[in-house]
Protein backbone atom coordinates (compact mmCIF):
# COMPACT_ATOMS: atom_id res chain seq x y z
CA UNK A 1 0.00 0.00 0.00
CA UNK A 2 2.98 2.34 0.45
CA UNK A 3 4.47 2.02 -3.05
CA UNK A 4 5.83 5.15 -4.70
CA UNK A 5 2.97 7.28 -6.04
CA UNK A 6 3.67 8.74 -9.50
CA UNK A 7 0.32 10.39 -10.18
CA UNK A 8 -2.95 11.55 -8.61
CA UNK A 9 -6.55 11.67 -9.83
CA UNK A 10 -8.43 14.97 -9.45
CA UNK A 11 -12.06 14.11 -8.73
CA UNK A 12 -13.46 17.55 -7.88
CA UNK A 13 -16.73 18.44 -9.68
CA UNK A 14 -16.98 14.98 -11.24
CA UNK A 15 -20.44 14.81 -12.80
CA UNK A 16 -22.39 14.46 -16.08
CA UNK A 17 -20.36 15.06 -19.32
CA UNK A 18 -22.63 17.99 -20.21
CA UNK A 19 -21.83 19.68 -16.91
CA UNK A 20 -18.12 19.01 -17.48
CA UNK A 21 -18.27 20.73 -20.87
CA UNK A 22 -20.08 23.69 -19.32
CA UNK A 23 -17.41 23.98 -16.59
CA UNK A 24 -14.65 23.80 -19.22
CA UNK A 25 -16.20 26.62 -21.28
CA UNK A 26 -16.87 28.67 -18.11
CA UNK A 27 -13.32 28.28 -16.78
CA UNK A 28 -11.78 29.01 -20.20
CA UNK A 29 -13.90 32.16 -20.62
CA UNK A 30 -13.04 33.40 -17.15
CA UNK A 31 -9.35 32.76 -17.77
CA UNK A 32 -9.38 34.73 -21.04
CA UNK A 33 -11.19 37.62 -19.32
CA UNK A 34 -8.66 37.49 -16.46
CA UNK A 35 -5.63 37.64 -18.76
CA UNK A 36 -7.07 40.32 -21.07
CA UNK A 37 -8.40 42.46 -18.21
CA UNK A 38 -5.19 42.40 -16.19
CA UNK A 39 -3.02 42.85 -19.30
CA UNK A 40 -5.06 45.95 -20.22
CA UNK A 41 -4.59 47.30 -16.70
CA UNK A 42 -0.82 46.82 -17.01
CA UNK A 43 -0.72 48.54 -20.42
CA UNK A 44 -2.83 51.50 -19.22
CA UNK A 45 -0.49 52.09 -16.27
CA UNK A 46 2.66 51.65 -18.36
CA UNK A 47 1.51 54.01 -21.13
CA UNK A 48 0.28 56.89 -18.95
CA UNK A 49 3.05 58.78 -17.14
CA UNK A 50 0.47 60.31 -14.78
CA UNK A 51 -0.11 56.84 -13.35
CA UNK A 52 3.56 56.26 -12.53
CA UNK A 53 2.96 56.61 -8.79
CA UNK A 54 3.33 54.12 -5.88
CA UNK A 55 -0.41 53.33 -5.88
CA UNK A 56 -0.40 52.28 -9.53
CA UNK A 57 2.99 50.60 -9.22
CA UNK A 58 1.41 48.22 -6.70
CA UNK A 59 -1.72 47.88 -8.85
CA UNK A 60 0.40 46.97 -11.87
CA UNK A 61 2.23 44.31 -9.87
CA UNK A 62 -1.10 43.00 -8.55
CA UNK A 63 -2.30 42.57 -12.16
CA UNK A 64 0.86 40.66 -13.08
CA UNK A 65 0.41 38.48 -10.00
CA UNK A 66 -3.26 37.78 -10.83
CA UNK A 67 -2.34 36.56 -14.32
CA UNK A 68 0.24 34.18 -12.83
CA UNK A 69 -2.09 33.14 -10.01
CA UNK A 70 -4.93 32.24 -12.38
CA UNK A 71 -2.57 30.54 -14.87
CA UNK A 72 -1.48 28.00 -12.26
CA UNK A 73 -5.03 26.67 -11.77
CA UNK A 74 -7.47 27.56 -14.54
CA UNK A 75 -5.95 26.16 -17.80
CA UNK A 76 -5.31 22.74 -16.22
CA UNK A 77 -8.83 22.67 -14.72
CA UNK A 78 -10.43 23.63 -18.07
CA UNK A 79 -8.51 20.87 -19.89
CA UNK A 80 -9.45 18.38 -17.19
CA UNK A 81 -13.15 19.13 -17.62
CA UNK A 82 -13.07 19.17 -21.44
CA UNK A 83 -10.91 16.08 -22.05
CA UNK A 84 -11.97 14.10 -19.00
CA UNK A 85 -8.30 13.39 -18.17
CA UNK A 86 -8.20 13.90 -14.44
CA UNK A 87 -4.70 12.50 -13.92
CA UNK A 88 -1.95 14.81 -12.72
CA UNK A 89 1.61 13.64 -12.14
CA UNK A 90 3.16 13.65 -8.66
CA UNK A 91 5.67 16.32 -9.69
CA UNK A 92 2.98 18.29 -11.52
CA UNK A 93 0.80 18.28 -8.40
CA UNK A 94 3.71 19.41 -6.23
CA UNK A 95 4.56 22.21 -8.69
CA UNK A 96 0.94 23.36 -8.85
CA UNK A 97 0.72 23.51 -5.05
CA UNK A 98 4.07 25.32 -4.81
CA UNK A 99 3.11 28.11 -7.24
CA UNK A 100 -0.48 28.33 -5.98
CA UNK A 101 0.80 28.86 -2.42
CA UNK A 102 3.45 31.31 -3.65
CA UNK A 103 1.06 33.56 -5.58
CA UNK A 104 -1.80 33.24 -3.07
CA UNK A 105 0.43 34.27 -0.15
CA UNK A 106 2.02 37.06 -2.17
CA UNK A 107 -1.43 38.44 -3.02
CA UNK A 108 -2.31 38.66 0.69
CA UNK A 109 0.88 40.67 1.31
CA UNK A 110 0.20 42.86 -1.75
CA UNK A 111 -3.24 43.79 -0.42
CA UNK A 112 -1.69 44.66 2.96
CA UNK A 113 0.99 46.78 1.26
CA UNK A 114 -1.63 48.61 -0.81
CA UNK A 115 -3.63 49.33 2.36
CA UNK A 116 -0.51 50.80 3.97
CA UNK A 117 0.07 52.90 0.85
CA UNK A 118 -3.47 54.35 1.12
CA UNK A 119 -2.91 54.97 4.85
CA UNK A 120 0.18 57.08 4.14
CA UNK A 121 -1.52 58.90 1.23
CA UNK A 122 -4.55 59.95 3.30
CA UNK A 123 -3.17 60.26 6.82
CA UNK A 124 0.26 61.74 5.92
CA UNK A 125 -0.21 63.37 2.49
CA UNK A 126 2.64 65.88 2.89
CA UNK A 127 5.15 63.09 3.58
CA UNK A 128 3.71 60.65 1.04
CA UNK A 129 6.35 61.14 -1.67
CA UNK A 130 9.17 60.95 0.88
CA UNK A 131 7.91 57.84 2.69
CA UNK A 132 6.65 55.91 -0.33
CA UNK A 133 9.80 56.33 -2.37
CA UNK A 134 10.75 53.98 -5.19
CA UNK A 135 13.20 52.01 -3.07
CA UNK A 136 10.57 51.25 -0.41
CA UNK A 137 7.99 50.28 -3.05
CA UNK A 138 10.38 47.82 -4.71
CA UNK A 139 11.40 46.48 -1.30
CA UNK A 140 7.73 45.85 -0.40
CA UNK A 141 7.05 43.99 -3.66
CA UNK A 142 10.19 41.84 -3.33
CA UNK A 143 9.43 41.25 0.37
CA UNK A 144 5.92 40.07 -0.52
CA UNK A 145 7.30 37.53 -3.00
CA UNK A 146 9.94 36.33 -0.52
CA UNK A 147 7.22 35.83 2.10
CA UNK A 148 5.28 33.83 -0.49
CA UNK A 149 8.38 31.71 -1.18
CA UNK A 150 8.78 31.02 2.53
CA UNK A 151 5.19 29.84 2.94
CA UNK A 152 4.97 27.80 -0.26
CA UNK A 153 8.22 25.97 0.54
CA UNK A 154 6.95 24.98 3.99
CA UNK A 155 3.45 24.00 2.83
CA UNK A 156 4.58 21.98 -0.19
CA UNK A 157 7.47 20.35 1.68
CA UNK A 158 5.27 19.21 4.55
CA UNK A 159 2.37 18.10 2.30
CA UNK A 160 4.56 15.93 0.06
CA UNK A 161 6.47 14.41 2.96
CA UNK A 162 3.27 12.43 3.67
CA UNK A 163 2.62 8.89 2.42
CA UNK A 164 -0.06 8.34 -0.22
CA UNK A 165 -1.86 5.04 -0.74
CA UNK A 166 -4.44 3.74 -3.21
CA UNK A 167 -6.92 5.12 -4.07
CA UNK A 168 -4.75 8.13 -4.92
CA UNK A 169 -7.69 10.49 -5.42
CA UNK A 170 -7.68 14.20 -4.55
CA UNK A 171 -11.21 15.49 -3.99
CA UNK A 172 -10.56 18.83 -5.68
CA UNK A 173 -10.07 20.29 -9.15
CA UNK A 174 -6.46 21.27 -8.34
CA UNK A 175 -3.75 20.32 -5.83
CA UNK A 176 -4.82 22.41 -2.86
CA UNK A 177 -2.87 21.90 0.37
CA UNK A 178 -5.90 20.76 2.38
CA UNK A 179 -7.13 18.39 -0.33
CA UNK A 180 -3.72 16.73 -0.74
CA UNK A 181 -3.36 16.32 3.03
CA UNK A 182 -6.85 14.79 3.20
CA UNK A 183 -5.85 12.28 0.46
CA UNK A 184 -2.88 11.04 2.48
CA UNK A 185 -2.88 7.83 4.50
CA UNK A 186 -0.41 9.29 7.03
CA UNK A 187 -1.16 11.02 10.30
CA UNK A 188 -1.61 14.68 9.28
CA UNK A 189 -1.78 16.22 12.78
CA UNK A 190 1.69 17.82 12.55
CA UNK A 191 0.95 19.12 9.05
CA UNK A 192 -2.33 20.63 10.19
CA UNK A 193 -0.61 22.35 13.11
CA UNK A 194 2.14 23.71 10.83
CA UNK A 195 -0.39 24.90 8.24
CA UNK A 196 -2.57 26.52 10.90
CA UNK A 197 0.45 28.24 12.46
CA UNK A 198 2.11 29.50 9.28
CA UNK A 199 -0.96 30.24 7.14
CA UNK A 200 -2.90 31.52 10.15
CA UNK A 201 -0.17 33.97 11.13
CA UNK A 202 0.13 35.22 7.52
CA UNK A 203 -3.63 35.65 7.02
CA UNK A 204 -4.18 37.25 10.44
CA UNK A 205 -1.05 39.41 10.15
CA UNK A 206 -1.84 40.81 6.71
CA UNK A 207 -5.51 41.27 7.62
CA UNK A 208 -4.49 43.22 10.74
CA UNK A 209 -2.34 45.56 8.65
CA UNK A 210 -5.35 46.16 6.41
CA UNK A 211 -7.83 46.70 9.27
CA UNK A 212 -5.51 48.96 11.27
CA UNK A 213 -4.64 51.02 8.18
CA UNK A 214 -8.31 51.49 7.32
CA UNK A 215 -9.14 52.25 10.94
CA UNK A 216 -6.79 55.26 10.82
CA UNK A 217 -8.03 56.14 7.33
CA UNK A 218 -11.67 56.26 8.44
CA UNK A 219 -10.79 58.38 11.48
CA UNK A 220 -8.89 60.81 9.25
CA UNK A 221 -11.72 60.97 6.69
CA UNK A 222 -14.32 61.71 9.40
CA UNK A 223 -12.23 64.64 10.63
CA UNK A 224 -11.88 66.21 7.17
CA UNK A 225 -13.56 69.65 6.99
CA UNK A 226 -15.39 69.41 3.64
CA UNK A 227 -17.71 66.79 2.16
CA UNK A 228 -15.81 66.96 -1.15
CA UNK A 229 -12.48 66.06 0.48
CA UNK A 230 -14.15 63.18 2.36
CA UNK A 231 -15.72 61.90 -0.86
CA UNK A 232 -12.43 62.11 -2.75
CA UNK A 233 -10.51 60.32 0.02
CA UNK A 234 -13.11 57.58 0.27
CA UNK A 235 -13.19 57.06 -3.51
CA UNK A 236 -9.45 56.33 -3.56
CA UNK A 237 -9.99 53.49 -1.06
CA UNK A 238 -13.33 52.02 -2.11
CA UNK A 239 -12.01 49.74 -4.87
CA UNK A 240 -9.25 48.36 -2.66
CA UNK A 241 -11.68 47.78 0.22
CA UNK A 242 -13.90 45.74 -2.10
CA UNK A 243 -10.95 43.65 -3.34
CA UNK A 244 -9.76 43.09 0.23
CA UNK A 245 -13.24 42.05 1.40
CA UNK A 246 -13.57 39.49 -1.41
CA UNK A 247 -10.11 37.98 -0.92
CA UNK A 248 -9.86 37.82 2.88
CA UNK A 249 -13.56 36.94 3.25
CA UNK A 250 -13.24 33.79 1.14
CA UNK A 251 -9.82 32.83 2.54
CA UNK A 252 -11.02 33.18 6.15
CA UNK A 253 -14.12 31.15 5.35
CA UNK A 254 -12.03 28.48 3.61
CA UNK A 255 -9.21 27.99 6.12
CA UNK A 256 -10.66 29.23 9.40
CA UNK A 257 -13.97 27.39 9.34
CA UNK A 258 -13.91 24.32 11.62
CA UNK A 259 -14.23 21.09 9.67
CA UNK A 260 -13.30 22.72 6.38
CA UNK A 261 -11.49 19.55 5.29
CA UNK A 262 -14.57 17.41 5.87
CA UNK A 263 -16.74 19.27 3.32
CA UNK A 264 -14.87 18.99 -0.01
CA UNK A 265 -17.82 20.10 -2.17
CA UNK A 266 -18.12 23.37 -0.28
CA UNK A 267 -14.31 23.73 -0.39
CA UNK A 268 -14.28 23.28 -4.19
CA UNK A 269 -16.96 25.93 -4.69
CA UNK A 270 -15.30 28.48 -2.42
CA UNK A 271 -11.91 27.80 -4.07
CA UNK A 272 -13.32 28.95 -7.42
CA UNK A 273 -13.96 32.39 -5.90
CA UNK A 274 -10.44 33.12 -4.66
CA UNK A 275 -8.49 31.27 -7.37
CA UNK A 276 -10.47 32.22 -10.50
CA UNK A 277 -13.20 34.80 -9.83
CA UNK A 278 -11.20 37.33 -7.79
CA UNK A 279 -8.25 37.57 -10.26
CA UNK A 280 -10.86 38.11 -13.01
CA UNK A 281 -12.76 40.81 -11.07
CA UNK A 282 -9.77 42.81 -9.78
CA UNK A 283 -9.09 44.81 -12.99
CA UNK A 284 -12.80 45.69 -13.25
CA UNK A 285 -13.00 46.68 -9.58
CA UNK A 286 -9.99 48.98 -9.85
CA UNK A 287 -11.03 50.37 -13.26
CA UNK A 288 -14.72 51.04 -12.70
CA UNK A 289 -14.17 52.83 -9.38
CA UNK A 290 -11.01 54.69 -10.32
CA UNK A 291 -11.47 57.98 -12.20
CA UNK A 292 -7.78 58.31 -13.08
CA UNK A 293 -7.69 54.89 -14.75
CA UNK A 294 -10.97 55.53 -16.61
CA UNK A 295 -9.70 58.93 -17.78
CA UNK A 296 -6.43 57.39 -18.96
CA UNK A 297 -8.30 54.62 -20.78
CA UNK A 298 -10.56 57.13 -22.58
CA UNK A 299 -7.57 59.30 -23.60
CA UNK A 300 -5.67 56.31 -25.00
CA UNK A 301 -8.76 55.10 -26.90
CA UNK A 302 -9.17 58.58 -28.43
CA UNK A 303 -5.53 58.54 -29.57
CA UNK A 304 -6.06 55.17 -31.22
Q: Is the pLDDT of residue 288 over 80?
A: no
3-state helix, strand, coil in the chain (%, to 5): 80, 5, 15
pLDDT at 1: 44
> 248 in a domain, yes or no?
yes
DSSP state of 12: T
Q: How confident is the model at residue 34 (pLDDT cuts 50, 70, 90)?
A: very high
Residues making up the chain, counted from first to last: 304
> 252 in a domain, yes or no?
yes
Percent of the chain with pLDDT over 70: 90
CA angle 288, 289, 291 (to 5 degrees): 95
Q: The pTM is what?
A: 0.89
> 217 in a domain, yes or no?
yes
- Check: CB of residue 177 under 8 Å from CB of residue 155: yes
Mean pLDDT of 48-76: 92
- Strands of 7-10's sheet in order across: 87-89, 7-10, 169-170
> 108 in a domain, yes or no?
yes
Q: Is the pLDDT of residue 106 over 90?
A: yes
> 42 in a domain, yes or no?
yes
Please report, in angstroms and rounded to a whole number, the separation of the first and last CA atoms in the chain: 64
Residues 6+ apart with CB under 8 A from 153: 98
What is the CA 16 to chain-centroid distance, rounded?
A: 30
> 1 in a domain, yes or no?
no
Instruction: Looking at mean pLDDT, say which of 63-72, 157-166, 260-269 comes out highest.
Output: 63-72
> 2 in a domain, yes or no?
no
Average pLDDT, the chain: 86
Q: Which domain holds residue 272?
A: 7-302
CATH label of the domain that carries residue 184: 1.20.1070.10
Q: How confident is the model at residue 16 (pLDDT cuts 50, 70, 90)?
A: low
**In the chain, how many domains are there?**
1
> 58 in a domain, yes or no?
yes
Amino acid sequence: NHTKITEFILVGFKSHPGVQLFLSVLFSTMYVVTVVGNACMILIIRMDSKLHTPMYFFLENLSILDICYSSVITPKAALTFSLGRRIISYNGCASQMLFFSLFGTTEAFFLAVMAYDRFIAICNPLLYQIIMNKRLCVFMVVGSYLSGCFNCTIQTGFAFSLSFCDPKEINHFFCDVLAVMYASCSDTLVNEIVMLSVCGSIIVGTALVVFISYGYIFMTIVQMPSAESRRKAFSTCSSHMLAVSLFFGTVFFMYAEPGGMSSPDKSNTISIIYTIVIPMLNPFIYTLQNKAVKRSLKNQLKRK
